Amino acid sequence: MLKWKTNRKVLLGISGGISAYKIPDVVSTLKKYNNDIEVIMTRSASSFVTPLSLSTLTGKKTWMEEDFLSDQRGWEIPHISLADWAEVFVIAPATANVIRRAAFGEAETLLGATMLATRAPVVIFPAMNIHMWEHPATQRHVKMSGELGYIVIPPEEGFLACGYEGKGRLPKKEVILEILWRVLSPKRDLIGKKIIVTSGPTREFMDPVRFISNPSSGKMGYAVARTAWYRGADVTLIKGPTYIEPPFGVRTIDVTTAQEMYDAVLKESDGADIVVKAAAVGDYRFAHTLDQKLKREGRGRLEVILEENPDIAAEVGKRKRQGQILVGFAAESTEVVENALSKLNKKNMDMIVANDITARGSGFESDTNSVTVICKTGRTSRLEGSKEEVAWGLWDIVEAEFLS
């Protein structure tokens, strides 16, 4: 867990939509990561989820409409103190009604007044029946809210509680949290940068059912892509076959063989500012592939000929434009730093991340990593921690050495 995802002050506004039942789970996860949460509920919201459930999870009073103009708390003005306290104001679910209030700056409710009073980013998650969402009035209010600086996240498509199928669903908890982390990211130094990240293994087929590959899980590349997205980048992830879900917000391109990865990288990298090659690409492929499954047929021994795959990093290095940054990964089992340094120079890279795959808690499939980063500028650094922490550290180095 990256440090900045903890101890944040999250103000949560819940309005009267059926998907309000999902919010206690969001609160519970935020609490698990030691965040501080205050909740404001509209009167209608309390018909869908109880203030008591939320107070139990936050460990605090849940703010209701009747608290707005109440003299119960003496000097405290809830809409101002909550607005000032918040680092982010998330409204989920946001009803069509709340979006209208946002668009017109209506302040007759605690939730509406707090939206006007806060200087924190306001993230609105609309959720409603598809026809309500598509209605020109709602669409106009969404557009107006966006123009006022609110971050409006369009609802997802799927089965809706009202029985319809289509756009209107509140995104799942993981997506809400990912968007929150991007909004709260302490660094936004990759805004406007187009970044290509490769990840995962490749597969080289001998026949339709057999291939050679490697145990790369894709986790490191995913962490590099995800953290770049948090920092504001426009990220494309070119990924070999893996079983983990791609990071939210990132465009993904699926490939299987090294040749497919080569073609995709060369096509995409033309317009990229930074190319990070974190995939474990097979160096060799079968010289001959069979259309039909190879049968045993009592051969006793089978000899196959392998031929070299194209070298993607070397090709990107050769074609590199002025100002483009190429970052490579080197998975090594011997003389890790020496081998990485020689790759850096040979392939015209700007930075290489050397990974000792024989070390414990490092490399393939692991959730943690321990790497040596070598820059062509001469800087050498060690990074270790979760793959997300290592990825965050890599972007810090890219920023310091090549972007500032």
Binding site for ligand FMN (CB under 6 A): 15-19, 42, 44-45, 95-98, 127-128, 132
* Bridge partners, residue 239, by sequence: 199, 254
Single-letter residue type at 302:
L
The whole-angstrom distance between residue 153's C-alpha and the CA centroid of its chain comes to: 15
In angstroms, what is the minimal distance from the CB of 96 to ligand FMN?
Answer: 4
Of 162, 191, 244, 304, which residue is the catalytic one? Answer: 162
Q: What per-residue string of b and e applies to 266-300 under the rule 16 or more CB within 10 Å gives b?
A: eebbeebbbbbbbbbbbeebbeeeeeeeeeeeeee
Q: At residue 222, what are phi and psi to the nearest 5 degrees?
A: -65, -40
- Residue 266 token pair: 């060369």
In angstroms, what is the minimal distance from the CB of 157 to ligand FMN?
Answer: 15
Other C-beta atoms closer than 10 Å to the C-beta of 157 total: 12
In angstroms, what is the minimal distance from the CB of 91 to ligand FMN?
Answer: 10
**CA 404 to CA 395: how far, in whole Å?**
12
* Bridge partners, residue 325, by sequence: 274
**CA 93 to CA 133: how far, in whole Å?**
13
- Residue 325 token pair: 């940054």
67 annotated among ligand-binding-site residues: no
376 annotated among ligand-binding-site residues: no
In angstroms, what is the minimal distance from the CB of 36 to ligand FMN?
Answer: 24
- 73 or 131: whose CB is closer to ligand FMN? 131
**CA 110 to CA 210: how far, in whole Å?**
63
Residue 375 annotated among the catalytic residues of the structure: no
In angstroms, what is the minimal distance from the CB of 19 to ligand FMN?
Answer: 6
* Bridge partners, residue 11, by sequence: 38, 89
DSSP assignment of 245-279: PPPTT-EEEE--SHHHHHHHHHHHHTT-SEEEE--
β-pairing, 210-212 vs 204-207, is antiparallel
- 90 or 228: whose CB is closer to ligand FMN? 90
- 136 or 323: whose CB is closer to ligand FMN? 136
Other C-beta atoms closer than 10 Å to the C-beta of 52 total: 10
**CA 202 to CA 364: how far, in whole Å?**
14
Helices 258-269 and 312-319 cross at an angle (nearest 10°) of 20
Residues in CB range of 66: below 8 A, 6 or more apart: none
283 annotated among ligand-binding-site residues: yes
In angstroms, what is the minimal distance from the CB of 24 to ligand FMN?
Answer: 16
- 82 or 128: whose CB is closer to ligand FMN? 128
- 98 or 206: whose CB is closer to ligand FMN? 98
- 14 or 331: whose CB is closer to ligand FMN? 14
- 47 or 380: whose CB is closer to ligand FMN? 47
Rg of the Cα trace of the chain? Answer: 25
Q: Is 64 helix (H, G, I), strand (E, B) or coil?
A: coil
In angstroms, what is the minimal distance from the CB of 172 to ligand FMN?
Answer: 16
Active site members: 162
Which residue numbers belong to the known binding site for CTP? 283, 293, 329, 343, 347
Which residue numbers belong to the known binding site? 283, 293, 329, 343, 347
